[in-house]
Amino acid sequence: MSPVLDIAVQHRLGAFVLNAELRSDGRLTALFGASGSGKTSLVNVIGGLVRPQAGHVRLDGETLVDTARGIFLPKHRRRIGYVFQEARLFPHLSVRQNLLFGQWFSRTSGSNGVELSAVLELLGIGHLLARRPGALSGGEKQRVAIGRALLANPRLLLMDEPLSSLDEARKAEILPYIERLRDESRIPIVYVSHAITEVARLATTVAVMDGGTVKSCGPTSEILSRLDLAGLPGAPEASSLIEAEVAGFDREFGLARLETRAGPLLVSRGDFAPGRKLRIRILASDVLVSTGPLSGISALNQLPGKVAEIRAPAESGASAVDLRIDCGGEILTARLTRKSVAALGLAVGSPVHAVVKSVSVETP
């Protein structure tokens, strides 16, 4: 099976050089990196807005671009939906006309075409149909833009920082829709972002970009806990992503009880539905390590495990060291001082307890 996305391109734009290779099968592949790292250039290459000087782009085994063979499929024949940073709705058309714009041109859609009613329901925009884009809020515009891209019956959806122009409340309004899109539609998504919280929450696969190249690419939890990436400029601090299920509540103290492979976790959130599956994130610097169970400590979570890897600091003389701790199959990353590692005599295989405060667990 060829991967969903198979890209290797070189493109020079003034002083900036894009030299990116990427292979991904993820349902939602996040391109993550600082601004200027080449994320938008790469999605523009995928979408056909930029013609790369060399390289190839393949989607589900079909070649869209191959400079060596002189192939360049123009953007209107790629069937790749693109949600831009600034919605780019057509101002002279109503919301309904904007949504149906792509259907005028996709006559091949046939039976597997996306239904307008399904998209309206998925994105919650049914009440906006008669309006014009000028009369929509930022969040509504972005949801209409997502719907418009979906209704063109794409086989891949590109989203270029679709939330970056919105305030926190609007972001929180749209994120659940993107999650539903990821889980309920069969369209793979490439999602550009420089916000680690969005990536941690949405992505199944992460590609970290820096200076026009893809530094590494892999499953989200692995990439976010990778210690060598933490040193990259613009890269996130190492952290752990853990799949969890809500098991119950402690109403008296407003705590949610989560089941994870690493063991039970108490987090300070009281408003989750029991049985809900979610993804939590713990920063490496929020994890304490002890060689045995502790008593007389405020932190509520102690997860037993073994040291799986000790990452030497990038420069000699640096004081911090990152540890990967295997807790029942989940990897927890902890950032300690070299002094602590020496004092505790930690080595690969040492049994330890990872100590996490309930208030330090990031939940959606």
Partner 1 sequence: MLETAGAWLSPDEWTAVRLSLLVATTAMLASLPFGIAVAFLLARGKFWGRSLLDAAVHLPLILPPVVTGYLLLIWFGRRGPVGQLLYDYFGIVLSFRWTGAALASAVMGFPLMVRAMRLSIEAVDRKLEDAAGTLGANPVWVFAVVTLPLCLPGILAGMILSFAKAMGEFGATITFVSNIPGETQTLPSAIYTFTQVPGGDAGAMRLTLISIAISVAALFASEVMARLVARRIAAS
Task: Report how many residues bind partner 1 under the rule CB under 8 A.
Answer: 31
DSSP-based three-state secondary structure for 44: helix
Asked if 90 is part of the footprint of partner 1 (rule: CB under 8 A), the reply reads yes
Residue 289, CA distances (Å) to 104, 304, 334 in order: 60, 10, 8
List the one residue from 8, 49, 54, 247 that touches partner 1 (CB under 8 A).
49
Question: Pick from 12, 60, 62, 105: which binds partner 1 (CB under 8 A)?
Answer: 105
102 touches partner 1 (CB under 8 A): yes
For partner 1, which stretch binds (CB under 8 A), given 7-15, 100-108, 119-127, 350-358?
100-108
| Cβ at position 35, least distance to partner 1 in Å | 18
Q: How far is the CB of 88 from partner 1 (least distance, A)?
A: 4
- Taking the C-alpha atoms of residue 158 and residue 227, their distance in angstroms, rounded to an integer, is 28
**Which position among 26, 33, 47, 212 is part of the footprint of partner 1 (CB under 8 A)?**
47
Distance CA 212, CA 10 (A): 9
Residue 32 contacts partner 1 per CB under 8 A: no
Tokens 């490496």, located at residue: 284
DSSP 127: G
How many C-beta neighbours within 10 Å does residue 10 have? 15
* Distance, CA of 276 to CA of 200 (rounded, Å): 17
300 touches partner 1 by CB under 8 A: no
Signed CA dihedral, 83, 87, 90, 96: sign only: positive
From candidates 7, 20, 122, 149, binder to partner 1 by CB under 8 A: 149
254 phi and psi angles, rounded to 5 deg: 70, 40
**Shortest approach of partner 1 to residue 141 CB, angstroms?**
12
We find the least distance from the C-beta atom of residue 109 to partner 1, in angstroms, to be 10
110 binds partner 1 (CB under 8 A): no
The answer to whether 356 and 303 have CB atoms below 8 angstroms apart is yes
Q: Give just the sign of the alpha carbon dihedral 16, 34, 178, 180.
A: positive
92 part of the interface to partner 1, by CB under 8 A: yes
Q: How far is CA 21 from CA 195, 221, 225, 282, in A?
A: 22, 21, 22, 29
139 lies in the binding site for partner 1 (CB under 8 A): no
Q: Binding residue for partner 1 (CB under 8 A) from 19, 63, 106, 285? A: 106
Q: Does 13 bind partner 1 (CB under 8 A)?
A: no
String marking each residue 59-88 x if it binds partner 1 according to CB under 8 A: ---------------xxxxxxxxx-x-x-x
Helix (H) or strand (E) run with residue 138 in it: helix 138-151
Which letter does DSSP use for residue 188 in this model? -
Could you give the CA distance from residue 237 to residue 285 in angstroms, rounded to a whole number? 8
The residue from 13, 71, 135, 318 that contacts partner 1 (CB under 8 A) is: 135
Q: Which stretch, 146-154, 281-289, 295-303, 348-356, contacts partner 1 (CB under 8 A)? A: 146-154
Crossing angle of helices 138-151 and 168-184, in 10° steps, is 20
**Judged by CB under 8 A, does residue 191 bind partner 1?**
no
- Closest CB to partner 1 among 80 and 255? 80
Q: Tell me the residue type at 63.
A: T
The residues, any chain, with a CB within 8 Å of residue 36's CB and separated by 6 or more, are 16
Contact between 146 and partner 1 by CB under 8 A: the answer reads no
> To the nearest whole angstrom, how small is the minimum distance from the Cβ of residue 58 to partner 1?
18
The site for partner 1 (CB under 8 A) is made up of 47-49, 74-82, 84, 86, 88, 90-92, 101-102, 104-106, 131-135, 148-149, 152
